[in-house]
Chain A
């Protein structure tokens, strides 16, 4: 089965590492993934306005394109893209009238029928089987203690969450299959500060400090995440953390696909 890969803007710019490592891992696992031709912006933050359909246009157009190229599934890496595409998809699936209006406005060659499935890479790996991943691990990450950080967009709202929104464990399962040890991490779904990073970076620095210190308290050597925004806030904002909290020691932050690539021996 062919899978359409929807990168989104960040994956082609600041989160290039996430894309490179994820695609390499997918290739090693033998998954057939092709970049969706002619994709556009995912729509960024999912619009909660119920009477402003223009904001659903970007995500639905991507889904319509996937449909026109006969992809049944669209996979994403960025949590934001996943969230927006998945939520918009549910909105039009459950509301024929809204779908009709959007289709009319888009005037794509064929109408979107609401049948494309939106999936995150983590779900894809879970379906591949963590046991099967374990079998092909070349360099087990033994003794590595990992704090798995989810943020919000992969888990909330519940109807599109890839796992339990309060106590997720999909990343932990993955980390275990790589031979590493996931640590207890109560702050795994605490907010990273999100877009405050643009206007009030000190808020993000305070959030990042608490999250990273909580990981350290629980014995983590590093933090993994799947979201480019969380990654930026937890990693790049550590400079600001240091300024606010004297004595703060840096904590490595990596994308989950980076440690996967390591364990699978991809160079």
Chain B
């Protein structure tokens, strides 16, 4: 064993606290150490070259790099070892930055001593390290995309166009998500459904896409390359293979209920499609509101009217099992309900609506045919007060973050309203205008300057009703005065929150979400579309509030990650897996219960019971190793022997 130790200065990050010179001299005295040197930036090209050359020159067999956290440059230095012909698992990183110089800035002497201890510990572990080879397992080159909004649609199309099969699962009866609800998009004022529906149709007709609408993901097992997914198809009570989308059933249905797609501002029947351009064009019976129940048929109108005999009240929930190699989460967002904004009269006054409600009022296919009418009396409002940041940037209510898209769509709403009602008055309460995006600032400025819209910098304290009008009390912080505005309608821009089902899905996927329920990425800057669970990728507002173009960008990025993964037929897995010593194992089964991934089972061979680990499923977490009473399980690269000697080295003198 010929060990080489390389100590990084990390510029001044380490060297200004830790005495690297002393450290070098002390570390050089350790057992088996052939070479020890310090260097200003080991991660740099010359730094890596230096390591590489020394390995070859001195015939080094094991390497310790004392530098930053392995989660940052572990991969970098592993590759350096490989390029010098060494096995990458014969590297040990002593984290003397995050775990030493950064946290002990004010006590350099102690930090220096601790750095030496960390190197000693790394050496102790390295002494028992073994070269390992990555496992290669066959990969199922099919993808699952969860969520059929614009992000999911884009991701599915990109992967399908790359030549791989995609399963696209959407919980609503139609594809489209929130984008289908929008009237026009900023900053170009493209008609939202005009640019979206062709993509929806493309998805439906694509030979590589299997579309599941009105369906949800119930369970996921396995890991990257080999996921087993259970999808539940909710019963539509209309046979997909028979329905022609003719609309005859709707005409005869006697039940009228608010249409969720129109934010409850319009109506639909109990048998319905959410909107005319729905994909697939298959009707759904909403059994909660239908006069019939599963046991009792009292109305047969749709049944009789349906030519192709597609109505089937006996349909049951159906489970479908599929296998995929990668998963994209594109579950989108929700808005906080109006009721959560009582100070703005949310849920109390009909004419206090959300921006998404206004989108439906502006939409030509919406409940008012594109004419802005206020909900209480159907009159065209002569003035509108917009309230931005309604629930966002509000730590008091647990949402300190910016919802990102509201500045832009509020400006757009002001524009569309002024064009429809030129004499109408618009007041917009804002905290800051955030218009960072291509042509965004120009868009907002154009409206501020040319549309006679009054932007008031400040917050609203209260909205209440005075006769037919709503009274808005607020503050204009630029003049330092409180203002009271009588208006016909109030439009709030509610905070974007994570999708209702997001947290439950995160549990199924075993992937983390942040404190607000948004899916977490591995690295916010450098790996923004990958979830920490390998093989699961993120797209759209499921990760954080995003506008359409960002969602599409991220969806394509996630799809390209999947395509890169699928470029190989087999997948290389880290060989850091649990191994059972059959001679020591008693087959007690504690490890089976401990394993969070269901990777272990007890088998019986030649009258002996023992645990067997599925290498493809094992994630190397080490739970079983800790739980085993007989020390019969070791995780490769983190064996009990390695960990104990590491701890001993840390506790020594």
Option from A164, A186, A217 in Cβ contact (under 8 Å) with B462 = A186
| Interfacial residues of chain B within 27-42, with CB under 8 A of chain A in the complex | none
Q: Is A70 an interface residue (CB 8 A)?
A: no
A166 close to B (CB within 8 Å): yes
| Residue A167 at the chain B interface, CB threshold 8 Å | yes
Within 8 Å of chain A (Cβ to Cβ): is B308?
A: no
Within B322-374, which residues are at the interface with A (CB < 8 Å)? 342-343, 348
Q: How far is the CA of A166 from the CA of B466 in the complex (A)?
A: 18
Q: Which residue of A lies closest to B467 (CB)?
A: A217
Residues of A within 8 A of B462 (CB): 186, 190
What separation, in Å, do the CA atoms of A190 and B484 have in the docked complex?
Answer: 13
Q: Mark A138-167, 1 if CB is under 8 A from B, else 0.
A: 000000000000000000000000001011
B562 within 8 A of A: no
Docked-complex contact A167 and B342, CB < 8 angstroms: yes
Tell me whether A186 and B471 are in contact (CB under 8 A). Answer: yes
CB-contact partner of B466 in A164, A167, A190, A217, under 8 A? A217
**Closest chain A residue to B396, Cβ basis:** A158
Which of chain B's residues have a CB closer than 8 A to the CB of A186? Answer: 462, 464-465, 471
Given A186-B464, A217-B466, check contact A166 B342 (CB 8 Å). yes
Chain B stretch 457-490: residues in CB contact (< 8 A) with chain A: 462, 464-466, 471
Quick one: CB contact mask for B442-465 with A, threshold 8 Å, 1 for yes?
000000000000000000001011
Question: What CA separation (Å) do A108 and B348 show in the bound complex?
Answer: 51
B473 to chain A, nearest CB (A): 8
**A167 proximity list for chain B (CB < 8 A):** 342, 348
Q: Return B200 CB to nearest CB of chain A, in Å.
A: 41
Chain B contact residues: helix, strand, loop or mixed:
strand
Q: Contacts of B348 on A, CB cut-off 8 Å?
A: 167
Q: How far is the CA of A217 from the CA of B471 in the complex (A)?
A: 13
Q: Can you name the residue of chain A whose Cβ is closest to the Cβ of B484?
A: A210
Q: Contact between A164 and B342 (Cβ–Cβ < 8 Å)? A: yes
B333, chain A: closest CB distance, angstroms = 25
Interface residues of B in 212-255 (CB under 8 A from A): none
| Chain A positions within 8 Å of B466 at CB level | 217
Q: Which chain B residue lies CB-closest to A217? A: B466
Shortest Cβ gap from B186 to chain A (Å): 31
**Residues of chain A within 8 A of B343, CB atoms compared:** 166
Q: How far is the CB of A152 from chain B (nearest CB, A)?
A: 12
Task: Write the chain B residue with the least CB distance to A167.
Answer: B342
Residue of A at shortest CB range from B346? A166
Which residues, 182 to 204 on A, are CB-close (under 8 Å) to B? 184, 186, 190
| Chain B residues whose C-beta falls within 8 Å of the C-beta of A190 in the assembled complex | 462
How far is A237 from B466 in the complex, measured between Cα atoms in Å? 26
User: How far, in angstroms, from A166 to B471 measured CA to CA in the complex?
Assistant: 16
Chain B residues with CB under 8 A of A217: 466
Q: Which residues of A contact B342 (CB under 8 A)?
A: 164, 166-167
Q: How far is the CA of A190 from the CA of B464 in the complex (A)?
A: 12
Q: Which residues does chain A contribute within 8 Å of B464, judged by CB atoms? A: 186
Q: From residue A49, how far is it (CB to closest CB) to chain B in Å?
A: 20
List A residues 227-260 near B (Cβ within 8 Å). Answer: none
Q: Sample 12 A-B pairs with CB under 8 A, ordered by A number.
A: A164-B342, A166-B342, A166-B343, A167-B342, A167-B348, A184-B465, A186-B462, A186-B464, A186-B465, A186-B471, A190-B462, A217-B466
Known: A184-B465, A190-B462. 4 other contacts (CB 8 A): A164-B342, A166-B342, A167-B342, A167-B348
The 5 closest A-B pairs by CB, nearest first: A186-B464, A166-B342, A166-B343, A167-B342, A186-B462
